[in-house]
Structure formats: structure tokens, C-alpha cells
Structure 1
Amino acid sequence: MKKLLSVLMMGLFVLVLAACTANENTGSEPGKKSDDGDKTEETDEKVLYMNNSQEPTSFDPSIGFDSLSWAGLNNLMEGFTRLGQDHEPEEAIAEKWDISEDGKTYTFHIRDNAKWSNGDAVTAGDFVFAWKRLLDPETGSPAAFLAYFIEGGEAFNNGEGNVDDVKVKAVDDKTFEVTLTSPQAYFLSVITNPAFFPINEKVATENPQWFAEAESFVGNGPFNLTEWVHDSHFVMQKNDQYWDAANVKLDKVHWAMVDDTNTEYQMFQTGELDTSDVPPELSEQLFADGKAEMVDQAGDYFYRLNLTLEPFQNKNIRKAFAMAVNQQEIVDFVTKNGEKPAYGFVSPGFADPSGKDFRESNGDLVKTDIEEAKALLAKGMEEEGYETLPEVTLTYSTSEAHKKMAEAVQQMFKENLDVEVKLANMEWNVFAEEQTALKFQLSRSSFLADYADPINFLENFQAGHSMNRTGWESKEYDQLIKDAKNEADETKRFELMYEAEKILFDEMPIIPIHFYNQVYLQNEAVSGIVRHPVGYVELKWADKK
């Protein structure tokens, strides 16, 4: 790690100089900005300046299944339930719901004053249209698996059933009924995910690309999309048609797209942003000064190993690479934002029926062990008949943070295994397509929980799952996940999930690095932003003095 530390110290010196430059402007009150970013005269408008880092993947709720899209979608639209300020699901477009005695049928009652931003009433038919579209194989939604708990949903999505078998229906304009395959303790949390937002059927029928531009976008949430300059910025304005508009305090939210933490930090320093991530090189000082804040976030930073490409078809070679990584050194010297090193995949924060945390109960499933890593590498090479290990390339999506992480891991493979690993990077959209197509040997990845339950972490590695992206398959694992999803007894359900995670790490198609948290800086004049552990940023209750 000596070379790594030297590089990091040099980076620290450069960034401190940049920070000093930015600080020259600190203390001056910036003028309000117009939507194109130009300074204007002071107004009484409450405008919040945020950063989305990159262009949203899509504002189509069925397609925008990632953190780049969620920040926007979660504030432009709303489902039956919304995560409240306590991070628990609460009434949203639905004012109430009924649950059948067997726990399988939910009947949602939509608010009389629930409207779309164009003034149309939100109807049960809009939800039927959206949920069936989510499951339609022609939609190609990466989030379709979330709706497999709907009776008939998985068969329709897999091409084995038809749309009429999906058990969702509009009882009347304001009453929606859904039947599940089995009782689901986390159902009301799952449907807070943007994938389950309604779609105005009339608008979508007239214009299938309604979500692609601000001029055509129609939402039902706290804010409207009023401007979208692609790859530059987008702007939201308070939605006066929203059923709870009286509790929305902001007039406007301006989202920049700056994919560099150091630039973002400098924009925060000069008042161009109201929040910012924390540059790793400054985190220690910012924490010491009490300026950095931290909240939990359910998710992982990890690497995927591709079992369809050499040399990672061999389990012992996969384990060797995993054990050669020192997660503690990475969070101490690279990320430096108080993250917890990950020795399993399910993050802390999920209590089992006994009250014990899932992560604590299932323990550390992989740990740094250099001697064992060397022995496993030798064993695996012998099993495959390798005299020389095939060339390995680690690929990551273009980002300074991902680059630093990749360089650190590359150095560990060199020092701990004497393996030279090449690095490659590409832009996010291309990277995502190539990773899904299993084009990479070893590649960076991340997961943010879609809903608050451990099964959401573990279901990602089922055979054929859109989020698997490793080529790994296990019938035993798949059966455990299936059984857990159909198990009503919570104690038994957690036991099934514990067993499944152990199988995952015995096979080692992934290398976990750290669990996420949310470390940020925030303008003291701003209050009420809610950062949910599952990754949604909530601006409904935000305010700015």
C-alpha cells in the first residue's frame, strides 16, 4: 500500500490548494440563479440547488431503475405509499387500504383530490396500466422482478403467461385491487419504489415518449419537471396540483449534473450548490470541523466476477482474488468517509425477529487472508492447468472515485498475489450495457436497496436475474430465495436468507468492498431534506431560509 498512500498524499496537497481557492468566496451570499444558471436579481423564491452527478437514465418509472433517476422521479411522482420522515411507508396517493384475512389481497383507496400535473384525476386505471406495463416483457424493465410477488406477474414477464392473468384490477376509478402470490411483510415498502408509480394512461397512449422531455412530462408528485437540458441540468417547480401541496415549502429545485466530487465541493463552497458530497482527501478535516454529516444507506460497493470468462470460472481463483482485497485499508485510506468494510452482502440495519441485526447474526463471510489467497490461487491454477494466469482486466465506469478504488485494488492484487491486473474504464451507459451482456472479466458495481428487507439484496443473484451480471447459477440458492419469499413465518424466513448468503460467499461471484453511507455537506439555511437509507432523496418537506 506504500505506493497507494504516496499517490493519495499528493492528491491531498493538490485538493487543499483548490479548496483554499474556493474558500476565498465563502461568506458572500450568492444571488438567485435563473434556470440556465445565470445570476439574477434577488427574489423571494425558495430555490434549492442540488447535484444529480449525471444525466438521469430515464424518467420513465419502469426504466429509470437507478440512483441517477430516483432522485428526480421520487420528487416528480408518487405511488400508493411514500416513505415518511421516519423512513417507514405511509399513505400517499392512497388515503387508506384494506388487507384480506389471508394477507394476500390489498385494496387501495385513491384520494379524491389526487391529480396529475396537467389537472387530470389520478385513477386506479393509471396504476393498472403502469403495473402491467412494468411486467410486460416488451417494456424490458430492469425492475420487473420487483413485481413478481403479484399473482401472474412472473409468468407474464417471462413470456409464459398473459397480461390478463396479472392480478391487478380497477374496481372503480378510485379503488385498486392487487392479489399477491403469498403474504409479503415488506409489500408496502416495496411499492414506494418509483417502478410502482402510476402513469397517466391517456398521456402515455397519445405520446409514448411523454417522459423524455420537460415539455411533455406529466407527474403526480410534489414537483413538476419544468426544464431539462440533457447532460446539463434539470429544474423542478412546485406542483400546485399535488394533493399535499400545502406542505411543500420549496418553489423550485435546480439540479446540476457534475460528476466530480472536487468540482461539486467547490460549487458548494461558492454557493452554487446547497449540498455536496465530501471529497475523501478533505473528509477528516470536515468531520473534525463538524461540517460533514453522515446518515445510513442500505447498499454495497463491490466487484463482480464473471464466471463465463477465464480465469474466474474457477471457484478457488475467485476466492483468492476476494481474500487478497483489504476492505479496511480501502475505507481508511481511499474512501475515508466513515464507511464500514463489507464482509458480507446484506448491509447492517435489518433486524431479525429476535431483534438481532442480520449482518451481526450471519457474521463475516469473507476476510482478508493473504497466505490463504496465495494458496487458493495456486490450487486453482493447478486445477485449470494454468502455468501462467490468463490476463485479467478490471473495468469500471468513468469516475474519479471509481478510478481511485480500482487503482487501490489493482495494487493489492499485485502486492498480495503477484498478479498484474489491467484497468479499463468507459462511460456509464455503455458500461452498464456491456456488464449486463457479461463482457467484463472483473468489474465494479454497486447496489442500493430498492426496499427495506434483506431479501432485496439476495434476490439479485438468482439465475437469470437482471441484476446478477456474473454468470453464476445455483439451484440450491434459487430455491432458498423462492422459499424465503413464500415464507410467512419471519424466523424461518430469516434462516433461509442466512443460508442463502452463506452459499453466495462459498461460491464467491462477487468481492464486497464497503457498505454505503451518505456523507454530505449542507447549507445551514436548508432544512427538511430526508435521505432515506434505501437511496431516495426526499424534498417534499425541504425548506430554505
Structure 2
Amino acid sequence: MKFGIAKLLCASLVIATSPLIAKTTLYMNNVEEPSSLHPAQGFNTNSWEPLNNIMEGLVRLDNNHNAAPAVAESYSVSEDGLVYTFKLRKEAKWSNGDPLTAHDFVYSWTSMLDPKTASPAAFLGLDIKGAQAFNEGKGTELGIKAIDDYTFEVILEKPNVAFLNIISNPNFFPVNRKVAQDNPKWFTEAKTFVGNGPFLLKEWKHSEGLKLEKNPNYWDKDAVKVDEVDMVMVNDENTSYQMYRSDELDLTPSPIPAAMYDKLKDNKELQNLPTAGTYFFRFNVGMEPFNNKNIRKAFAMAINRDDLVKYVVKQGRKTADGFVAPGFIGPNSKDFREDAGALIKFDSTEAKKLLKEGMKEQGYSELPEVTLSFVSNPSDKKIAETIQNMLKQNLGVDIKLQSMESKVFFAKQRASELQFSRSSFLNDYADPYNSLESFITGSTMNRTNWSNQKYDELIKAARNEVDAGKRWNLLVEAEKILLDEAPIFPLYYYNQIFMQKPNVKGILRHPVGYIDLKEASKD
């Protein structure tokens, strides 16, 4: 009897001291509430980064930043480069267990291009046959179809070597047709969200945080190493950095606080990676005084961008001397920036001269009131204040500053209600065409009211040109017009600069693309 009791006691001790298998949770900061988690509507980093991990498209960018099979296990391209045929994985499922079929891709891509959807990403799909007319409400045919449940065909208007990279964008992710038809608001809450990515959306406390959980129905679930991803929403670089220091975050978003750069630049936990994108400013040419080219150029040339980047922005960022970011190599093996050259410079003397000419052309005895609008965060505030001071010092112009919460700011900018405003562009795919197409007449990305017939013709010609060298030269010429007309002026080129704990590995980041947590691990 005593032996029996001792045996039970020993057994209970073994149970009590046996290690429990703890869940591995990755702690991150998504900065802000996603604008939308619908693939056709989410069109900013705060939407794309969750979307890229709770959903998946036909292809996914690999370690070399090239499009690789994902939901599509294979694909073929016709000899003329017009027809893409994708064979879908039969083991690919939705997070609710439904089979994922070619019909879901037809449904989601059609929805994105439907003018009623008003998708900000629709321009990315205009290479598809019939898409331009369909998106303008002038046609009903689209070059996409389900050959059968697991074969998806896409027909293009003209060959496009960047097409596979383009469709790696989250806006081309599928949507569960049945779920969307049953509940048009399926994407607004975690309990109704149905995805197909490495993770599923477990919890969504709006404006506070997202919680992702490993998706047991993901076709490649064995490659997923972390059990959970906890994404807070903290739109303050200093607070985010302090959370990292106190081990509340495993990595920070980019960027780090500018004031911390000199102290941290040699820290082994600081990561500095290239990214294709530009921080810039927009003039609304539909509002005085920026309906005058000389006044726009005067403002742009009065900003000492080198000093602003060196002493205010910091973070290893480079002053922008054109709109297209460096890193795009042309058919002549030269970087686009090398071919295009420096298209903007600081020259306070010339700026004053241009301002005087512009005011004379407009009949101004004094300049109309100017307001610079920006997003409410410490980084944008410091940049705006520095620009305000430089315009006063170098041009003799007083401007007002206006800070706004991001959703209000971007809604007003899209509606052309801002006179002079900060902006940013991150390439959707690896091609300078993507940067420059934003400013064609009527583009949803233009947001300046600027229209230039010659520019439009060059961009259209580049889109249709099959000779790589000619296409490249058309884009170089177009950028020169953009910077000469100055509806915008660039400040700096983006990089990805962030802190990451040494025990976190396998997170994939791309110069063009979105954070990929599929193979992330945490020791």
C-alpha cells in the first residue's frame, strides 16, 4: 500500500515537473488600423502586411524576391506572352475548410476591376484583356476565366514581363466567393473573416490590435513555425522603441525614432535594408497659388533637402534627386537614376527669382495663404516644421501647418482637398513604370489635379512598348517632365530600418513587397 502511494506521488511529481509545450508568439507593431482587410480595398502598408500573412495569391515572392508558385502549384505562359495558365493546388483550402478554386480568383479579380468597387488597386490589373473598358464601365468582357475548378487562365492585352510580380500584390489575392456572397461584410471582423494564408485572423480589436494564429488548413502548414502573431497598433516611433526595449515587441516597424539613429547605428539589432519608395510632397495645382508652375518650382528649390535628410530625417536615408527610387536596372545594365540624373536641386537664389516671376504671372501683390498638411506623428511633424522654417528663411514665405489623423488626412488628400501635403510611394512591383504611372491624368494615385498630355502619351507609349530599351528611354523622358512641371517634389528615398531581436529569424522582407512571416521563427 505504501509503495502504491509512493508510486502515485512520483507519478504526480513527473506530471507536475514535465515541461508544457508553450505557444510561440511573435510580437509586432502594425502601427495603425488597416484601411481594409478586403484584398480589393486595402491599399496601404498597414493593410498589406496583415493581408500578406492571412491570405495568399497565385504566387508569392521568394528569398530572391522573385515570384514563385503559391496557391498555383505551376503555371505556363504562351509563346506570345499573352496567355498565363495557372494550375491550382487541390490541397489549397480556405481557413473555414472550403476548397479554394479558380472560381474564387475569377470572383475576386472581377470585383477588383468592377467600377462599382472603386478599388484603389484597379490600375494594377489594366494589363488584362478588356480590363480598361470593364473598369470604365464601357465593357463586359474580361480576359480571366476558370477553365475548371483548378485551372485559372489570364489573357493580357500585351506582353508584360512584370506580370507575375504584379500579381504577387495582396490586391490580387482570392476571395471566398460563397462567403462574400452570403455576407458582403465578411472582411470587417475576425469572427467572419475567411482567409487562405499561413495564418488566420483570430482576433481584431479595432484600432488596438490584431492576433493571428497558425492556419491548420494552410496547404504548407508544416513550414509555419510560430503559433501566433500579436500585432499591436502604436503610431508613435518612440513608444514603439520603448516597447521593444522592454521586450513587449520582438521587432519594431520601420523607421526607428530619428533622434535614436546616431546612438543605434552600430547596434547589432539594428537592421537597414533597401526598399523601393520615395517620401515626397504634393502640390494641388487646382488650388492657388500652386496652379502656377514657377511658384511650385520655387517652393521645391527653396528646400535644402540634403540638410533636412541629414539632420532631421537621419536613419541612413538618402536625399532624393528624382521620383523613381534607385535599384531598378535597365536593359543597358544601368540604374534608372544613373540614366535619369539629378532632376531637382536646392538653389535659394533661383527659387526667389521663380517666385517673383510666378507672382507676376498671377498678378499677386502678396502670396495667398499656404497650408502644409501632414499626418499626426512625430516624424512628419518635425519634417513639416523644418520645411516651414526653410521656406521662411530661403524664400521669405510664411506657411501654416495642419496636422491630421491618418484616415482623415488620406481621405482629404484623395478628395483633392489639401493644398500642399506630405506623401509617400512604395512600389507595388519592381518596375519604374509603376512609380510614374501614378501621375497620369485621372489616376487615383495622382491626387494633385495635374494633367500633362505629353506625359500621358509617354506613359501610354511605355506601357505598350515591347522593346525594352525604347520603353526605358520613354520612362526616363517622362520623369524629366514630372520634375520640371513640379506637381510634386521628392525629399528622400525609403529604406527599411528597424530593430529585431537576435532570437527572431526567417522573416522575409523585400525591396518591393510586404513582410512575410510564413517561415518566421523565434527561439
- Give the counterpart letter for 1:311 in structure 2: P
Query: In structure 2, what is the equivalent of residue 412 of structure 1?
Result: 390
How far did 1:483 drift?
1.1
The yes-or-no answer on 1:287 pairing with 2:295 is no
Aligned to 1:395: 373
2:217 counterpart of 1:244:
no
- The residue aligned with 2:416 is 438
- The residue number in structure 1 matching 2:147 is 171
Query: What is the rounded CA distance, in whole Å, between the counterparts of 2:304 and 2:45 in structure 1?
Result: 27
RMSD across aligned positions (CA): 1.1
Shift of 1:428: 1.2
**How far does the alpha carbon of each residue in 1:124-179 deviate from its partner, in whole angstroms, 9 at most, with x for none?**
000000000000011110000111101111111111112xx111000000001111
Measured against aligned partners, the alpha-carbon deviations of 1:94-134 in whole angstroms (never above 9, x if no partner) come to: 11111111101101110111111111111000000000000
- Alpha carbons 1:237, 1:253 under 8 Å: kept: yes
Of 43, 58, 70, the match for 1:80: 58
Question: Larger C-alpha radius of gyration, 1 or 2?
Answer: 2
Out of 222, 225, 239, the position equivalent to 1:263 is: 239
Deviates more, 1:43-52 or 1:56-65: 43-52
2:454 to 470, 476, 483: 476
Identify which of 451, 458, 477 aligns with 1:499: 477
Q: Which amino acid aligns with 1:219?
A: G
Q: Are residue 109 (structure 1) and residue 90 (structure 2) matched? A: no
Identity %: 52
Which residue matches 1:24?
none
Q: Find the residue that maps to 2:134 and give its secondary structure.
A: helix
Partner of 1:272: 248
Q: Is the 8 Å Cα contact of residues 275 and 521 (structure 1) preserved in structure 2? A: yes
Does the 8 Å CA contact 1:278/1:292 hold for their aligned counterparts? no
Q: Which runs of 5+ in 1 are unaligned?
A: 1-40
Q: 1:460 aligns with which of 413, 438, 448?
A: 438
Whether 1:180 and 2:164 are equivalent positions in the alignment is no
1:80-99, Cα deviation, whole Å (9 max, x unpaired): 11111211111111111111
CA distance in 2, matches of 1:84, 1:194: 15
Q: Deviations over 1:6-29 (max 9, x none)?
A: xxxxxxxxxxxxxxxxxxxxxxxx
For 1:71, the equivalent position in structure 2 comes to 49
In the alignment, which residue of structure 2 is the partner of 1:92? Answer: 70
Tell me the secondary structure at the aligned position of residue 331 of structure 1.
helix
Aligned position for 2:406 = 428
CA distance in 1, matches of 2:501, 2:230: 15
CA–CA distance in 2 between the matches of 1:544 and 1:226? 20
3-state SS, counterpart of residue 253 of structure 1: strand
SS at match of 1:458: helix
1:322 and 2:300 are equivalent in the alignment = yes
Q: 2:194 aligns with which of 218, 234, 244?
A: 218
Aligned to 2:126: 148
Residue number in structure 2 paired with 1:354: 332
Write the distance in 1 (CA, Å) between the matches of 2:451 and 2:112: 25
Alpha-carbon shift at residue 42 of structure 1 (Å): 8.5
Equivalent residue number for residue 21 of structure 1? none
What is the rounded CA distance, in whole Å, between the counterparts of 2:352 and 2:485 in structure 1? Answer: 18
Aligned to 2:171: 195
Aligned counterparts of 2:417 and 2:143: Cα–Cα separation in 1: 37
Cα displacement string for residues 301-359 of structure 1 (whole angstroms, at most 9, x for unaligned residues):
11100000000000000000011112111211111101111110100010001111001
CA distance in 2, matches of 1:268, 1:487: 48
Task: Give the one of 182, 191, 196 matched to 1:206.
Answer: 182
Once the two structures are superposed, residues 479-500 of structure 1 have per-residue CA deviations (whole angstroms, 9 ceiling, x without a partner) of 1111111111111110110011
Question: What is the CA deviation profile of residues 61-97 of structure 1, one whole-angstrom value per residue up to 9, with x for unaligned ones?
Answer: 0000111100100001111111112111111111111
Sort the Cα spacing of 1:415 and 1:141 in 2 relative to 1 into closer, same or farther, 3 A.
same
Structure 2 residue runs of 5 or longer lacking an equivalent are 1-18
Q: Which residue of 2 aligns with 1:299?
A: 277
Amino acid at match of 1:526: V
Q: Distance in 1 between matches of 2:492 and 2:228?
A: 35
Separation in 1 of the partners of 2:497 and 2:304?
22
Task: Tell me whether 1:253 sits opposite 2:246 in the alignment.
Answer: no
Shift of 1:43: 5.8
Distance in 2 of aligned mates of 1:532 and 1:489: 27
Normalised by the length of structure 1, the TM-score is 0.91
Residue 320 of structure 2 corresponds to which residue in structure 1? 342
Equivalent residue, structure 1, for 2:210 = 234
Change beyond 3 A, Cα 1:391–1:43:
farther
Post-superposition shift, 1:535?
4.2
Listed one character per residue, the Cα deviations across residues 166-213 of structure 1 (whole Å, up to 9, x for unaligned) are 110000000011111100010000000011000000110001111110
With structure 2 as the length reference, what TM-score do the two structures score? Answer: 0.95
